[in-house]
Amino acid sequence: MSNSIYDHYLTNEIFSADPVKLVTILYRAAIDSIASAREHLRAGAIRERSRQISKAWRIVHELQHSLNHEQGAELSGSLAALYAYVQRRLLEANSTQTDVPLAEAHELLSTLLEGWVTLCATPKPAESTEPIESERVSCAI
């Protein structure tokens, strides 16, 4: 029953989230899947390890395909390359059954999540006490 309550909460959270919140939800889900894969790797649970790595790979794939290359082409290009690298590391971890690529993917996604959270925690121009004309930061995808 508690799982269905959690599922209901998560569904509401996703449907009511703005684009930034959705990105952070995806990052957290990928990071959690990688952490779970690492635990299953240590326990020798091959099927579960593989399932969690595949889940993380699909989440990163979704992040990659949600990039807007028309706005912020340089940033979205860099993120696309980084997401592709993380996906390669996940595939390598799955095929070699080693922790190092998982640890690296975990660290990269954690750093990206921290960046999103920090960037989007800064006051938006309407919230700030001083107008910001030259630095309009949009946290939308």
Task: List the one residue out of 54, 57, 64, 52 whose CA is nearest residue 23.
Answer: 64
Q: Do 137 and 41 touch, CB atoms closer than 8 A?
A: no
User: CATH number, domain at 80?
Assistant: 1.20.120.340
Please indicate, yes or no, if residue 56 is contained in any of the structural domains: yes
Report how many domains make up the chain: 1
Range(s) of the domain holding residue 74: 2-120
Could you list the mean pLDDT of each consecutive 10-residue stretch along the chain, which spans 141 residues? Answer: 68 68 91 98 97 98 92 89 98 97 98 88 60 40 42
Quote the pLDDT of residue 31: 98
